[in-house]
Structure 1
């Protein structure tokens, strides 16, 4: 392949990754915006009791959803690898096996929803009318979860084809449809069951669009369930089990902190922790989670034996991810206290310390959103899985110890300490596995990020001198000043030469980059 062809291929890969990650961020943004708009309407029109029943039913059904067992991720990873070699016979065998499993899981979740709707109302402290409402809400939400697993057959295949922009567009359509029918039904005086019933229409439309798109895009693929025996299912089940265990580790790492605060410090401490955690988690969802779209790309490159492109993918996207997350979490560290004071009041100022420590933890994990996805996509998941479980266990233990000594801030501090140690281990493993130069991998990016952080902080401080009165507008101005200073340094120093070259070709910034 000539150098010109290599640049064209690399450019196409970069554009596809950027398209998929940006569309995933747009999907999360629209979903968060719709939730922000609807929650006040739900509490107003449904009332606190009916809305509480809904939240309770959703929370319990989320445990049923664990029965999905990581099958969608397994489908995406293995189908992408088979498709990369052009072996559609093998691709259809994988699809048939996993479709069979996913239909079976869907049936189990639906059965669990039926049984749960009969038994669970007697466990919770509910009034008779609330128990009846919970029963129907749990049943409907459970069946929707079952249908969701089945529609994931098509959506997982769409991910394997790296057509995330289409998949994310469908999710955005579903979120906007939910906004539209919720507003109409609530204004007309309908209640919770009408809202849940309307969601079935949206699920049906999305499934139909999934089906039609994949039939048009990849007519070679067959989505019919077909079982080829346990011998072929074994490697799929092994990977799926690992994904399931990683989900459990994620639950332990992310959800135990608030439980520990509730047990040892009480509900007020939980509220203080939640305010800081909410800002940290919103930024994580919008800007870090989209790196998950890299898995089918990594699987395809691994199946093709293109190790050089895998190394380029790791270095280039990691440097960009470090830049993006540093540009978000540095301002949260610098200006989080002022924002929280304006947002929820002086009584939650301790939440700013929680936010600061969680932000440092996220910065320690910045490149792992890319690193972890590529390790799983290339089948190197055993060591990361062990590290994630060890991290979750040690984090919980250290959180209890520091909680007793330092209160709610100690819990967030424990997350930072354990996250940093786990990333030292995982980064060393990744460097060894892929033969990376540490400077090219993350060193250059962090030098650019730290210099950019200092320049951005100085520019933000200048805005503070110009506008000493604390307000949301001043914080917005400080944030904009920070971003200008930060990205000037990050672009010139922190990005890899290949990434700067891609930017120069894409945006024609030749004068800036030399």
Structure 2
């Protein structure tokens, strides 16, 4: 199987799993927001999850990503080291989890008071279990990525999403409210983690014959490489979660609900880009190790162009239909999420680029440079949130996210260019043509938007935009329908 076929196969598996995960997430979001929880309860749930994400980064550090990088490398050169690497990383994780979860269990009440909401204490207590099970859920997915066995990563993700939906809804219906929804997350992630670790042990750990000696300095290098990855992950949490926490600190649970809903919709839209980035990134490590940088450049440029072909029009269309979409699907109580979603549409384009680029830089050995960039922009994001949220509300948090992420994307692209010598002129011409297609599609959607009075009309407007986009994409020669059919088939 050649590289292109391997990527397509991995992308299909990851996209199907991501589709299951995001569909379950969308159903959970819809059922909780529309029927089971009011904005205050919805906001309390996801405010807690934002806090737990900050806690979890201290427990996970960068060990999983560091393992994936060295597994990708040593799977080609010295497979006997892989069992040693797995044992080392698991021992590191258990030690970190013991310290962090022990501290959370001892001080959850004080943390809730410090953050200004003593009622959050039961959520943080349950969060001890959340942190443990989600840590191993994510770890198994990343480990399979390092082995370039993306079907298993996909399966873990799909299982976690589906079971989380089932148990969260069940526990809320049993009368446990938002806390029940959090316990549903715990059970779902526990099932996914159990599956992932079982497969990792029997299908990978036990199939490698351990080398007689652990390569001198390898465990140290693994730990050292986890440092910039930890910095990057910490900065990612600041970008993705600390703003939610700060909205809860400065504003109300309902404001958290509006902001969270906007971000969850962007996550749903970004699923294909995340799947593609997760799929292609291990190939960069393999190709750098074998000196095939031209092939790596071709993969990256093609992936970036086709991603922008989807996401620039998608983000534009979302801005146009945001108001009827939010109010008709989730109810008028969530109208405060409309301006948040419109601003975060810009973040969708930026994050699509990041999803393609970030993991790829790790596999290219540029994790340290990316960590510096991420740390700087995350600090700026934190400062802007503190400045803008009290004065502008949830819209300020969205603006801070878009501004700082723009800088991060530019730096990432520059680092990729240094590694792969991207053909900038060719990429610029492609983006210009994509923007032209987007403008024509936007005109078509804008003409029918005033007529939207129900969900059927909303779907018709979205369908019109999609058909206009598809016709222009084919007419421009961007996509060959026969090639698309051959890939799908």
TM-score by length of 2: 0.80
Of residues 22-31 and 131-140 in structure 1, the stretch that sits farther from structure 2 once superposed is 131-140
Q: Equivalences for 1:115-194 in 2 at 5 Å? A: 116-121=104-109, 124=112, 137=126, 140-141=129-130, 143-145=132-134, 148=137, 152=139, 155-177=141-163
* Equivalent of 1:211 in 180, 201, 204: 201
Q: 1:98 to 1:315 in 2, by over 3 A?
A: same
Answer yes or no: is the 8 Å Cα contact 1:298–1:374 preserved in 2. Answer: yes
- Contact 1:453 1:486 (8 Å CA) reproduced: yes
SS of 1:367's equivalent? helix
Hey, what's the Cα distance between the residues in 1 that align with 2:70 and 2:20? Answer: 25
3-state DSSP of counterpart to 2:259: helix
Structure 1: distance between partners of 2:46 and 2:356: 35
Matches of 2:183 and 2:260, distance apart in 1: 31
Distance in 1 (CA, whole Å) between partners of 2:144 and 2:446 is 46
Q: Deviations over 1:227-266 (max 9, x none)?
A: 655x222322222111110111112223343455455555
Specify the alignment match of 2:435 in structure 1.
450
Q: 1:70 to 1:163 in 2, by over 3 A?
A: same
Q: Does 1:240 align with 2:226?
A: yes
2:71 is aligned, of 57, 65, 79, to 79
Report the counterpart of residue 292 of structure 1 in structure 2.
278
For 2:9 and 2:173, the matched residues in 1 are separated by 42
SS in 1 for 2:148: coil
1:12 aligned residue (5, 20, 26): 5
**1:355–1:494 Cα change, 3 Å:** farther
Q: What is the distance in 1 between the residues matched to 2:370 and 2:150?
A: 25
* Structure 2 CA distance for aligned equivalents of residues 175 and 484 of structure 1: 30
Distance 1:212 1:26, change over 3 A: farther
2:445 is equivalent to residue 460 of structure 1: yes
Unaligned runs of 5+ in 2: 114-118
2:381 matches 1:395: yes
Q: 1:413 and 1:56 mapped to 2: Cα distance?
A: 23
Of the three residues 58, 81, 86, the one matched with 1:93 is 81
After alignment, is 188-197 or 169-178 more displaced? Answer: 188-197
State the shift of 1:41 in Å. 12
One of 446, 463, 474 as aligned partner of 2:457: 474
5+ long unaligned stretches in structure 1: 1-7, 509-514
2:468 is aligned to: 485
Partner Cα distance (2:250, 2:25) in 1: 31
1:186 to partner: Cα distance: 8.2
Return closer, same or farther for 1:430/1:158 CA change in 2, 3 Å cut-off: closer
SS of aligned partner of 1:366:
helix
1:289–1:414 distance in 2 versus 1, CA, 3 Å: farther
Q: After superposing the two structures, state which structure 1 stretch, 279-288 or 482-491, moved more.
A: 279-288
Q: Alignment RMSD, CA only?
A: 4.3
Kept after mapping to 1: 8 A contact 2:126/2:183: no
Aligned to 1:377: 363
Is the 8 Å Cα contact of residues 347 and 401 (structure 2) preserved in structure 1? yes
**TM-fit CA distance, 1:297:** 1.5
Give how far 1:424 is off.
3.1
CA distance in 1, matches of 2:220, 2:125: 38
The structure showing larger relative contact order (alpha-carbon pairs under 8 Å, at least 6 residues apart) is 2
**Deviation of residue 389 (structure 1)?**
1.7
The separation in 1 between residues aligned to 2:442 and 2:341, in whole angstroms, is 18
The match for 1:512 is none
Q: Distance in 2 between matches of 1:115 and 1:64?
A: 12
Once structures 1 and 2 are overlaid, which stretch shifts more, 256-265 or 194-203? 194-203
Deviation of residue 379 (structure 1)?
A: 0.7
- Tell me the secondary structure at the aligned position of residue 207 of structure 2: coil
How many Å separate the matches in 2 of 1:80 and 1:164?
13
Aligned to 2:484, what secondary structure does the other structure show?
helix
Q: Which residue of 2 aligns with 1:415?
A: 401
Q: What secondary structure, in the 3-state scheme, does the structure 1 residue paired with 2:66 have?
A: helix
**1:54–1:255 CA distance, 2 compared to 1 (3 A):** closer
Q: 1:40 to 1:493 in 2, by over 3 A?
A: closer
Distance in 1 between residues matched to 2:381 and 2:455, nearest whole Å? 35
1:333-348 correspondence to structure 2 within 5 Å: 333-344=319-330
- Cα 1:375–1:488 shift into 2, 3 Å: farther
Q: 1:315 to 1:57 in 2, by over 3 A?
A: closer
- TM-superposition CA deviations, 1:6-58 (whole Å, max 9, x none): xx7354144234324413422432441563487589969xxx99x97998599
Change (3 A) 1:502 1:386: farther
> Cα–Cα, structure 1 residues 286 and 420, in superposed 2: closer, same or farther, change >3 Å?
same
